[in-house]
Each structure stands twice: as structure tokens, then as C-alpha cells.
Amino acid sequence: MSSHSTQATINELIAGSIGGAAQVLVGQPMDTIKTRAQTASSPMDILAQTMRKEGFFALYKGMLSPLIGIAGVNSLLFAAYGSSKRLISPYPQLSLKEIAAAGAMAGAANTILSSPVEMFKVRMQAQYGAPTDKRLKVVVRDMWRDWGFRQGIMRGFWVTLAREIPAYAGYANFSHISIIGFEFSKRTFAKKYGDDIPVWALLASGSMGGIAYWLACYPLDVVKSRVQLRAEPPQGSPIQYIIRELRAVVVEAGSIPAAGSTFAAFELARGYLFKTTGV
């Protein structure tokens, strides 16, 4: 690998970490509501109950898991995405189909770290402030002790993989999603503003990516949460239990502003690093 490619990967790792932290800080309250709504009642009812019984900061329950892991998760995602783009084409301006392929590769790689981070976040969010609620380290310890690595720490891996690949690329009816939605929107703004795209435009582009991401993957996200929250591991093959869970769920809503902050923070950080390192 050339020194130029190495520096580009390092920049993407750093920018991805910053984007990931922005995602957690902005999106955690909505993510908590989403997770609880997927396994209980309506989002507004969940919000009212959470605020009344546990207070505002309960909306940030489960934040420690993604905050600890987000640097690795988003660094891996954006670094894999950048490396995949360079692997697919030596030219910087890829077509949307090539971006779809790079996004699929990045989504698959991202599952390695995002699956356990998501699993522990979901289990923390499902605790409603009872005296028996567990700290994150206790949840990790119990899952490892009772179920081991595959059925405990990595529970929900196959559902997460099935969610991430189409969400970051484009399969079947989802032709412009997540990274593609972001790139499409960003390129539209670039035609007007050139290289100096304003922050609000980056946020809007990220939000477009977020809308498309959740349109594509929300049903599987519901399945993932239900699988990861069960007292025991799912039975049968991944396809069997995914289909079984899909039959039992009703799609509620998604999370959009967090995606806007992720991509905007990533682009701003990468722009600063480009000016500093020249790569």
C-alpha cells in the first residue's frame, strides 16, 4: 500500500471516530425510544413513560456501549468504505453503482464490531430503571458466562449483517440508500457550492442518507433488537428466525438527525485532515 493510501486510511479512521461520536451524542435519545418501541408500545407513549419515571437522562441509557465502541465501529466503516472504493476503481469519482458495491463491502466489514456494540446497547436500553437494573460490565459478564462468545457476545450477528449490507449499498428495490443517498445529495450540493459545501448542506445530505438507510433496514433492525433482547438465543437457522420475527413485528419509525451529524462530522473532520496532511 502506498504512503498516500495509508495516510488516506488513517484520515478516514480519525474522521470516522469523530463522526461516530457525533452520531451517539445526537442520536442516542431517539435510539433509546426506537429500541423500546420495537419491543413494547408506541414511541410517544415510551417517551412519556421514560421522562415521567426515569427522567431526561434515561434517554441516554445504553450510551456507554456505543460511545466506547463507536470509534472502532465507525472507523472500520469509513476506512473499509474508503479502501473498498480504491479497490473497485483507481479513479476518485465513482459511479453510484460502484459506490453501492463499496458500501456493501463496508457494511459487511462493519458488522464485525457493530454487532456486539448493538447487542449490549439494546440490552441496556431495555432496562426501565428498576432496582435490579444491571451495569454494562455486568451485562457483558453475564452474557459471556451464560452463553459464551457466539450465542452471547455476538448474538444477532447474522441479522445485523443482513441489515448492514443492503442499508449501506443497494439491493432489490433499495437503489439509492445510506452512503449512496448521502453521496447523491452531497454531489447535488457540490454542483452549486463546489468544494466549499456549507455545514447545513452536509447535515442535509447526511439526513438524506439516514432516511434512505432506515427505509431499507428498519424491519431487520426490529428483528435484531428482538433477537438480542430474548432471554435465550434464537432457534433454527438465521433465515428461519428472521422470517419468524418479521411475521411478529410492526414497523414503527426511524432515526434521521443522527445520520446527518455522523456524515457532517466525518466530512468536516476529513476536510480538516486533508488541509493538514494533503491527503
What is the per-residue pLDDT across 40-72, written as a single tens digit (0 to 9) for each?
656 677 778 778 878 877 777 777 777 777 667
Mean pLDDT, to the nearest integer, of 133-158?
Answer: 92
Which of 179 and 97 is assigned the larger pLDDT?
97
What is the per-residue pLDDT across 217-235, written as a single tens digit (0 to 9) for each?
777 888 888 888 888 898 8
Angle between helices 96-125 and 179-193 (to 10 degrees): 120
Q: Which three cell numbers stand for residue 147?
A: 452463553
Share of the chain above pLDDT 70, in %: 77
Cell 439491493 belongs to residue? 171
Confidence (pLDDT) at 141: 95
Confidence (pLDDT) at 39: 65
- One-letter amino acid for residue 171 of the chain: Y
Domains in the chain (CATH in brackets) are 3-277 (1.50.40.10)
What is the per-residue pLDDT across 155-208, written as a single tens digit (0 to 9) for each?
999 999 988 887 776 422 233 345 556 676 777 777 778 777 787 777 776 676
Mean pLDDT, to the nearest integer, of 33-40?
Answer: 72
pTM exceeds cut of 0.75:
no
User: How many Å apart are CA 233 and CA 276, to the nearest integer?
Assistant: 48
**Residue 102 predicted with pLDDT over 80:** yes
Confidence (pLDDT) at 138: 93
Element at 256 (helix H, strand E): none
Confidence (pLDDT) at 191: 79
- What DSSP state is assigned to residue 234? P
Cell 448492514 belongs to residue? 164
User: How many Å apart are CA 50 and CA 32, to the nearest integer?
Assistant: 10
What is the per-residue pLDDT across 248-279, written as a single tens digit (0 to 9) for each?
765 444 444 555 566 667 767 777 777 777 76
- Which residue in 63, 45, 40, 10 sits closest to 258, CA to CA? 63
Mean pLDDT, to the nearest integer, of 3-15?
Answer: 73
Question: What Å distances lie between residue 240 and 222, 232, 234, 247, CA to CA?
Answer: 16, 16, 10, 11
- Cβ-contact 203, 260 below 8 angstroms: yes
